[in-house]
């Protein structure tokens, strides 16, 4: 799983993982090619692709993805 680190200033330790603005869940991608496409469209000073190793972050993101798929199915 991959994510995007974004720096909010010039300091090396002043970064955060790209998150959903509404619920704070970290955005994750299965394929590196997908995250590279998103990274190209970001308008920030500095960003980097990183591997997401935290099972907690992955579980939250996968649960959100599952809920969104279920909602789309129910709304059809």
For 17-73, the pLDDT digits (tens) are 999 999 999 999 999 999 999 999 999 889 999 999 999 999 999 999 999 988 888
Domains in the chain: how many in total? 1
Beta carbons of 17 and 24 less than 8 angstroms apart:
no
Split at pLDDT 50, 70, 90, the class of 6 is: very high
Beta carbons of 58 and 1 less than 8 angstroms apart:
yes
Q: Give the residue numbers spanning the domain of 31.
A: 2-75
| Residue of 39, 48, 43 lying closest to 15 (CA atoms) | 48
Determine the 3-state secondary structure of 36 from DSSP: helix
Can you tell me the distance from the alpha carbon of 7 to that of 18, in angstroms, rounded to the nearest whole number?
A: 10
Beta carbons of 29 and 2 less than 8 angstroms apart:
yes
Q: Compare 19 and 76 and report the one with higher pLDDT.
A: 19
Note the pTM of the prediction, 2 decimals: 0.84
């Amino acid at each position: 799983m991959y994510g995007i680190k974004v720096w909010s200033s010039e300091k090396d330790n002043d970064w955060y993982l790209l998150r959903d603005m509404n619920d704070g869940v970290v955005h994750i991608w299965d394929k590196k090619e997908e995250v590279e496409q998103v990274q190209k469209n970001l308008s920030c000073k500095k960003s980097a692709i990183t591997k997401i190793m935290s099972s907690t972050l992955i579980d939250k993101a996968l649960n959100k993805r599952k809920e969104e798929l279920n909602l789309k199915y129910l709304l059809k």
